Structure formats: structure tokens, C-alpha cells
Chain A
Amino acid sequence: MNLQAIRILFLKDLFLSRRHLFAYFAGGLVASALVCVPNATLSFVGFILVVTVAIAAGIHMIGTLLLAETTDHTRLFVMSLPVSLLDYSIGKISVVLTTYLIPWTAMFTSLMIVTVVSGKQGNAAVLPTIFLFLLAGFMLQLVTAVISESVGWTICVMVGCNVGLNVFLMQLFANPEVSELSKSNVLTWPGVVLLTISVELLIIAVTLVMAFLFQTRKRDLI
């Protein structure tokens, strides 16, 4: 493993995605700000925007940084340089994850701060379950893109995750404990929330390992 090569590949992709990254970061902050507006409609629109920015950022970064390297034939250029498949895989998966996590973290942190400051402490336990669901969905799309190298299959998984999110939110807030917690100004961690977070973290970990395993075991890169 060549750390210098990985660093160069990582910075190269970060530079290439700088404009999109800034747009999603700014969009995420604007959406988070709308959530905090003391108007039910605007707040709801803000929440929809937060989810939209998270989903769009994920599919966009996977598409431009990972899948486009195959369709645009730039991977052939990169792999002609003195980088191994392992260097390439670590650099690529790390940068896709990082470019997603920047707007994700910005939105999550800002909403957590607002939640705590506004006194609705209970939501501080609900928000992580929603954001980790979004992250788990992104990881599923990432691993699909790595395995299939297909825009079509990745979009299929994205659609599935989007539908899944709606079902998840309905189920989550249908739970009396969570419903109560979202209105409460006391932070508690009910079992259902802890279980949900555990499952989400497990999915994230498994998909991350799978993404690396599948990418590094590819025999033919072109």
C-alpha cells in the first residue's frame, strides 16, 4: 500500500468534486436552517430538502467520482499511473465517502445543535436514527456501484432506499415511544431507538467492508 499515492488520488478527486461538494454543503445548511424556522410548513419543506440533499449528494458523488471513471475512460488514465488496485480502491472509496459525509455531517450537526438549543432534547435521539438511515442507504448504493459498475442498478437501489426511508419514517413515528420522545424536552434512549441505531451501524460497517473487498478483488479494471 502506497500512502502517498492514495493521498494524491484522494486529493485529486476532492478537487474534481469541489464545486458539487460546495453546492451540497451550502444546500444542506440552507435546508437545515429552514427546518428551524418556527413555521410548520417551512419546517416541513426544510426537512424534505434535507432528505433530498442527502439523497442527491449520495447518488451524485457515486455517479461522478466512481461510475463516471468507467464510462468516461478516465480510470484507464489513472490506472496507467504507478498506483496499485489497492491504492486506487482505498483512495476512491474514501473520497466518495468523504464527499458524502461533508454535507451529511453539516446537516446533522446543525440540526442537532438547533434541537438541543431549542429545548426539544428528545429529538436528539430521533435525529441520529434518521441520519444513520440515510448513511446506510448511501452505503448500499456505494456497494452496488462498486459491484455492478452500473448506473442503472445504483439508481434502482437509490429508489429502493428512498421508498424504504418513507416506510421507515412512518414506522418510526408510529412507535409510541419515539412519537413521545420527538415532542419531549428530555433526552432518553428507548430500546427501539438503540436497536435501530445498532442495525443501521451494522449495515454501514458491513457495506463498507463489502465495498473494499469487492473493489480490491476485481481482476479486470477495464
Chain B
Amino acid sequence: MTTKLESETETELAISLQDVSKSYKHFKLRNINFSVERGTVAGLIGPNGAGKSTTMRILMGLVQPDSGTVTALGKSISSSEATAKQDIGYFSDDMRLYKPESIGWHMQFVRSLYPTWDDAYATQLLDRFGLIQQQIVKGLSHGQRVKAMLLLILARRPKLLILDEPTNGLDPVAKHEILTELMRVVEDDSRTILYSSHNTQDVEQISDSITFIDRGQVIASSNRDAFLEKWKCIKLHAPEGWKAPIVDGLRLESCHRNLHVLSFSQFGGELPSELHATGVTIESMESMTLEEVFVSSVLRGREESPS
């Protein structure tokens, strides 16, 4: 019975990484564990060089991990690389198309590899993204190039989208067009998106769950709303020489004269009594933005394990 339940849970996961590690000369991805449920949008947020792209490349079988197991759509990537990729659409900011050829040529090429290619949808996407089939890749702007690549991915209707910084360097209009299209994709309950960025606003807009990664380690992973509910920013006035009490989840973010700004990651309706007992006057207690949560999480992680 347990086995059956475990197997059912496994099939409900679109992505599963267990104890995945990878060492390079100057960078280590250490024991990455996270999973993404089918039909959800997961955001992977991390500073530059945190390990987001390496994690995604491992998921696509482009980089082999030194240890750990990786499955995508229930298939082990190492053993069924090509078949697993049939249902996965991967975008990377580093990815380039063939410069001398047209968008139409690329569409023909990708279509020849995908029986699921949807011509009508591809035409719709051309129209929505303002692209023309005859446009040569060499002459495309950065935004048009990103849109062309997303068109090539979306028109094959993949069950899983792995998008590595798709909105990086885009103008607000192009960013809006792409996020809107991704929202349309999410309307189909069976499709899953893993979306990485160092821009928390983009991720916050479309993600159901969020994972923070820094220096090759997952530092926090949770439901988006839970992140926003649990994290609070507390501004308080404290007497001179006041020191923040040592409480789980409480961190002093900044201090100017007697005004102290703290972040608290385990808010459950009440402030810790230890804080009240220190004789402070609380000026305000507000929800934090995802960006503030992210920055605080990263700094906490670095304080706990400086390397």
C-alpha cells in the first residue's frame, strides 16, 4: 500500500531532484533537493552564479550530476534523455538560434522533430509576438530572439517548461507579452513550468511555489503565499544599547539611531514574547515583498554558512 502511495506521489511530480551534487573547479552545487508538482508554476530564484542554470541543465540532461537522482515527468533523465525531452520545452538565456536562417526555417526544423507541433498555435504565436516567418535571426533584436525561441518551444505543446531567465534583459512590453503567454500556458492544468530568475517580481507574478538558491544550495523552498504570510518586517524603537533577542527566525536587518528594522520569518499571528520583554516600541509590522524575503534569506544563509 505504501509503495502504491509513493508511486502515485511520484507520478504527480513533474520534477524531482534528490541529493543532486555537481562540482566544478570554482563552484559546487550541493545536495539539491526540490520537487515541483504537475500543473503548477515553480519559481527558482537566486543571485547570479547561484546555481540556477546548472540545476536546469542537469534537469535537461545537458550536464551530468556527480551524484543524486533526477526525474522529469516521471522519467529518469540519465537513462531516457531523448524520450524525456520529447515533452519538455527548455529555454536558456544563453541559447542561440542559427543566425543566417529565418524564423520559418527554425519552425520547420523543430516541427520535423515533434509530432505534437501545433501549426495553428505557432501562427497565433507569430501574430501575438509580432514576428514574421521570413525574418532572419541575425537581424532580430534581443526581445524578438527570446520570443522566437519561446515560439519554437510553446508550439510543440510541451508538458513541462523549464525556463532559465526568459525575461532577462527584456523591455517591459516584451516582458509583459511573454509573461501573458506563460499565464495562458498555465491555464492548462496539466502543464508545469519551472521558471528561474534573479528578478523576484517576474517570478512572484506567475509562481505557485518558490525556491531560493544561493551558492549552490537550496536555502528555502515553500508555497509563495506561505512565504509572504510568514515573513514580516518589523520597525521598532529601542533604547540605546539594545540588542535583538536571539529568537528563531528573527534577524536585525538595519539600525539607524534607535530605529531598528528586523525581519521575522516565522510569523504566526503573534510576535515573540522575547521581543516584547525587551521594552521596545513597535512602530510598524508589515508584510515583506518577495524581493525583501529573498535578500534576507540569502543573507541569513550566508551568515549561517560563510564560505
What are 20 contact pairs spanning A and B, CB under 8 A? A2-B82, A5-B82, A72-B96, A72-B99, A73-B95, A74-B98, A76-B96, A79-B62, A80-B62, A80-B90, A80-B91, A81-B110, A81-B113, A82-B86, A83-B113, A84-B81, A220-B62, A220-B64, A221-B62, A222-B57
CA distance A73 to B134 in the complex (A): 22
A-B pairs with lowest CB-CB distance, top 3 = A84-B82, A80-B90, A219-B64
A183 proximity list for chain B (CB < 8 A): none
Q: Which of B85, B97, B114 interacts with A77 by CB under 8 Å?
A: B97
Residue A8 lies at the interface, judged by CB distance under 8 Å to chain B: yes
Q: A77 to B96, Cβ gap below 8 A?
A: yes
B194 interfacial by beta-carbon distance below 8 Å: no
Q: Which residue of A lies closest to B149 (CB)?
A: A77
Give the contact-size bracket for chain A. Answer: 20 to 34
Contact across chains for B60 and A80 when beta carbons are under 8 A apart = yes
> Are A81 and B85 touching (Cβ within 8 A)?
yes
Which residues in window 48-94 of B have CB below 8 A to A? 57, 60, 62-64, 81-83, 85-86, 89-92, 94
Whose C-beta in chain A lies nearest to the C-beta of B113?
A: A81
**Does B109 count as interface, using CB distance less than 8 angstroms?**
yes
**Best-buried of A5, A74, A80 by chain B (most CB within 10 Å):** A80
Residue of A12, A76, A79 ringed by the most chain B CB atoms within 10 A? A76
Contact call B97/A82, Cβ cutoff below 8 A: no
Q: A53 to B183: give the CA distance in the assembly, Å.
A: 54
A16 interface residue per 8 A CB criterion? yes
- B114 CB contacts on chain A under 8 angstroms: 82
Q: What is the bound-complex CA distance between A85 and B83, given in angstroms? A: 12
- Contact: A80 with B95, CB < 8 Å? yes
Q: Please tell me if the beta carbons of B57 and A5 are within 8 angstroms of each other in the complex.
A: no
- Asked if B101 CB lies within 8 Å of chain A CBs, one says yes
Nearest chain A residue, comparing its CB with the CB of B137: A74
A87: CB under 8 A from chain B?
yes
Residues of A within 8 A of B305 (CB): none
Q: In the complex, what distance in Å separates the CA atom of A72 from the CA atom of B94?
A: 9
Contact with B along A168-205 (1 / 0, CB 8 A): 00000000000000000000000000000000000000
* B2 contacts A by Cβ under 8 Å: no
Contacts A220-B62, A220-B63 given; does A83 touch B82 at CB 8 Å: yes
- A residues 76-103 with Cβ under 8 Å of B? 76-77, 79-85, 87
CB neighbours (8 Å) of A219 from chain B are: 63-64
- Whole-angstrom distance between the alpha carbons of A85 and B64 in the complex? 12
Once A5-B82, A220-B63, A221-B63 are accepted as A-B contacts, the answer to whether A82 and B96 lie under 8 Å apart by CB is no
Give chain B residues whose Cβ lies under 8 Å from the Cβ of A8. Answer: 109, 112-113
Q: How far is the CA of A85 from the CA of B60 in the complex (A)?
A: 12
Q: Min CB distance, B89 to chain A, in Å? A: 8
Q: Which residue on B lies nearest to A77, using beta carbons?
A: B95
Which of A74, A81, A87 is close to B97, meaning CB atoms less than 8 Å apart?
A74
Q: Find the A residue at minimum CB distance from B80.
A: A84
Known contacts A221-B63, A222-B62; decide if A5 and B96 are in contact (CB<8 Å): no
Q: How far is the CA of A84 from the CA of B63 in the complex (A)?
A: 13
List A1-25 residues whose CB lies under 8 Å from chain B.
Answer: 2, 5, 8, 12, 16
